[in-house]
Structure formats: C-alpha cells, structure tokens
Amino acid sequence: MAALSSFVRTALAAASLLALSAGAQTPATTPALAHTPDTIASLRLIGEQRLPWRMRFEGTLVGGLSGIDYDAARGDWVMICDDRSEHNPARYYRARLDYDQQSFTSVQLTGVTTLLQADGTPYPSKNDFARLGGAVADLETLRVDPRDGAIWYGSEGDVSLALNPFVRQAGADGRLRYELPLPPLFNVKKDHSSGPRNNQAFEGMSFTPDGASIWVSLEGPMYQDGPVPTTSHGAVNRITRFDRDGKVLGQYAYALEPLAAAPGTGKNADNGISEILALSDNRLLVLERAGIQDDAGHYRNYVRLYEVDTAGATDIAQLPTVAGASITPVAKRLVLDLNQAGLALVDNVEGMAFGPRLANGKASLVLISDDNFNNRQVTQFLLFEVNP
C-alpha cells in the first residue's frame, strides 16, 4: 500500500489538531505523570490482574491486547487490539489501572475507539479487503504522543496481500492524522526475497523521553537478513530510530536469543521482539518473547526483558542485508527472566509501558499479554516496581 501523500498528511494533521484542541477535556484532578528511568537494575513484581475470556465491552469482544501505554494528560491507559477487524473493527481501549507500591487491585475498561482510515472508514477485515480496499490492520503496538496526546499505532502489514507495515498517528477520536514515511527496506515481497516476514514486522514502538524521535522494532529478522531462531542459533533483528518526519536517525542490529526449548514434532515455535521502551536516545528496554508449541499443541511462553545500548553498535541503515556483514550489534543485559519471577502462568506477553511514580519515587512498569482470543490463554496485566 502506498504511503499517504504529503498533502493528505498535512491536511489530516491540521484538521485533527483543530478537532483535538476544540474537544480537549480538562481532568478534574491533575493526573500523575509517567516516570521513565535512565536505566533499570532490576524489577520487583507487585501484582497481577486478568480480564475474563471473551469479555464484552460496549459492543466489542475484548481480547488480543498487544500493546499498552499510559496517557499522562488524561491519567488513564490505552491498549491496542490486534483483531484484524474480524470480530469488530480495528480499535483501541482505554482503562483505569488501580495500584500502589504494595498491591495491584483492579483493571477497569472505560472506553473503546474505532481507528479509521484516511477516508474516514474503519479498517476492513481480510475477507472484506478485496471488496473494500484500504489496508488490513494487524495492530501490535501503540504509544500516546507525549506532545499532544495523539495515538500512534503500528501494523505488521500482510505479505500475502502485499500490504506493507506502517506507523500511523490518529487523534484520540481514532481519525487518521499522519503516516510516518518509511524507507523501501520495509516493503514486503510476496516472493520472500526481501522485506519483513509475515506476522513478524512492526511489533514494538516507543518515543524517546523528549518526544523528538521514535524507535520502531521488527519482531523477527527480515528475509534477506537470515533465518529465524532455532534451538541451535539465534537471529538478527533490526531496531530503527526515526525523527517525526520519517528521517532515519539510526538503525541497529539486535541479536535474538535461540529458542529456549524444542517444539513438538511438526509444531510451531518463534522468538522475537514483542515491545520496546526507550530509556534515553540510545538505551532501550526490550521485551523478547518466545512461544513454543508442544506435541499436544499447547504453547509455553518464555519472556525476558533486556536493557540494550546502541552506543558503539554499527549503524546498519544503509546495509540491504546483514548476512555475512561484519557488524557490532547492540549491547544487551538481562534485567528479568519472567519465567523465574514466581508467576503461576507466563502468557503471551506483548506490551509494556511505564506508569506513574510509586509512593517511594520509583517508576512503575506494566506488562500485558495477548490472549489471541484463545480460551487456552489469558489477558494478563503484570505490575512491577522499577529499581534503577
């Protein structure tokens, strides 16, 4: 799918800014600001909450929550749904999360907003794409713009439909405002000669603390960069930093770990980046998640959080392939192995965000899992205290 023209982007941005300013609401109380630490030494689990399977909210089926962020201006949380408009049109939810330094007491949904295409219509399902056109949105990540409260969201695209991944900006009302221009490197190819693998494109996204630039990560290696991880070897993934106009400020190789266990015979297994959080211009918290299917078809998830530093890493933005290239990947340090955190279940964790400071002044971190609308999985919220 072609990117929006600069004229359309400008018009959408101007119109939505007017609408945003006209419809802005002032909260009754001043909400707590999110706190981004410079570095993370360790994480302490405070508590867990879950939403019921196939929960209904305002006429929609709740599930597939693949990204989360804290909206400091409103004092609530936003969550992206990766439903490809099969159950309900592509959408994001708002919620209230009640917690403190000692406990995590509740998650309450407060709103749902349909995300719209440039022509004002909802995104079509895969079945309706041939008839309606537009794009099938496979939404895996979202962030609240720290400058104006807009919603930025990323789609993985669809290789089979020749739909490229994208990063778009919407007003809080879901109306499209802008699409981030992307280099041809991220164009999908039906013949798998290059470009992102299907369902392994834009999975993570985060603004730098100053809001001037945005990091975007692929979930897995592009076709030309080598094979996916196995039990015997890892893989090379790309993390890219853009300015707000789409200029690439740097791109770096991230070394994915090998699979932690072998899948059952003929079963599935993968490992990739599910989300990122920028700590500074060059440091990030990376959520690396593996899902491995056993002989009975059940998945076991392996989730690790790493702090990475791009300082000293090779800028690979101009390399069409990293296969055979002499490069230095980002440095990575394990912060937490979630499977060793004492949880009864580690589900398909795909989103994370910093929340308000706790009473002791430390940052809070919330993780969320995507249940894939599957009754064998759960929608899981995990709350941590951040030790800098």
Question: Which CATH number does the domain housing residue 224 bear?
Answer: 2.115.10
DSSP line for 281-327: SSEEEEEEEEEEE-TTS-EEEEEEEEEEE-TT----TT-S--TT---
**CA 268 remoteness from chain centre:** 22
DSSP line for 64-123: -EEEEEEETTTTEEEEEE---SSSSSSEEEEEEEEE-SS-EEEEEEEEEEE-B-TTSPBP
Q: What is the pTM of this model?
A: 0.91
Tens of pLDDT, residues 42-99 = 999 999 999 999 999 999 999 999 999 999 999 999 999 999 999 999 999 999 999 9
Identify whether 1 is part of a domain: no
Residue 97 corresponds to which tokens in the numbers above? 């999360």
Cβ(267)–Cβ(298) under 8 Å? Answer: no
Which residues span the domain enclosing 221? 6-387
Domain count, the chain: 1
Quick one: CA torsion of 65, 70, 71, 72, rounded to 10 degrees? 170
Distance CA 369, CA 107 (A): 14
Tens of pLDDT, residues 184-228 = 999 999 999 999 999 999 999 999 999 999 999 999 999 999 999
Cβ(258)–Cβ(232) under 8 Å? Answer: yes
Residue 15: is its pLDDT beyond 80?
no
Identify whether 233 is part of a domain: yes
Give the strands of the sheet with 166-170, arranged side by side. 139-144, 151-155, 166-170, 176-179
